[in-house]
Amino acid sequence: MIVKHFQRELDKVKKMILSLGALVEQGVHRIKAAIEERNVVLARDIMRLDHEIDEMEVEIEEECLKIIALHQPVAADLRFLIAVVKINNDLERIGDQVVNIAQRVQQIAKQPVAPYQFDYSVMAEKAETMLRMSLDSLVNQDLDMAIEVLKLDDEVDKLKNEAYDRIKQAMADGATKDIGYMINLLLISRHIERLGDHATNIAEEVIYMIEGEIVRHGKLD
């Protein structure tokens, strides 16, 4: 009876983390459109999701800590709960990055489109793909998919560097009167890159959950 109760609580935690993941993924998907359309209304709506994400993050952490305290799990079950606590935090941080991007969209929408506008669609698409794959690897316990997420991170980093180089060149060409606008463009690229970083963290925790191996800091063989 105790075992069945413990399993039900684990299943509940899994459903909670997947619900949070779906909500965060929705925010990432919508922020892509907000960037492309410079849509202030959509950006404002996205920012309202943050409170719900924060509340869910606290509930999931409390549920995990309660299970650990009451049942003292070991081996795979303990790895699962530890990984969920960390994934939970990364999902909340992705929500924060989405809000940061929405704030930048609100700022650049106040100004006319500049000739040195950077196209973030590819970068944002890759970050969204990384998040979706990391969550799918969690659902399906798919080690290969989690490893693929880690490989995609380099591509997002490269695109962030391209955005930086382009904006730096615009400033060198004398576009200093639009310095505030360009800083916001630069920050958008930085926030998208951080989305990819957090998706990578989630994939690393999935690998830990499956293999029992910590692969952070470039330790993946």
Return the domain boundaries, the chain.
2-211
Average pLDDT over residues 66-88: 93
> In the prediction, which pLDDT does 25 show?
96
Record the tokens describing residue 172, joined without a space: 């060198």
* Model pLDDT for residues 157-216, shown as the tens digit of each residue: 999 999 889 888 877 776 666 788 888 989 999 999 999 999 999 999 999 999 888 777
Sequence-distant contacts of 77-83: CB under 8 A, at least 24 apart = 77/6, 77/10, 79/208, 79/209, 79/212, 80/10, 80/209, 81/10, 81/13, 82/208, 83/205, 83/206, 83/208, 83/209
* Model pLDDT for residues 139-174, shown as the tens digit of each residue: 999 999 999 999 999 999 999 999 889 888 877 776
Q: Provide, rounded to the nearest whole percent, the portion of the chain with pLDDT above 90.
A: 71
Residues 72/46, Cβ–Cβ less than 8 Å = no
Q: Model's pTM, two decimal places?
A: 0.92
Residues 164/113, Cβ–Cβ less than 8 Å = no
CA–CA dist 39, 96 (Å, integer): 18
Q: Does 2-211 carry CATH code 3.30.9.90?
A: no
Cα distances (Å, whole numbers) of residue 111 to 35, 166, 181 = 14, 19, 8
In the DSSP assignment, the letter for residue 178 is: G
> In the prediction, which pLDDT does 98 show?
97
Average pLDDT over residues 39-60: 95
Record the tokens describing residue 142, joined without a space: 């798919």
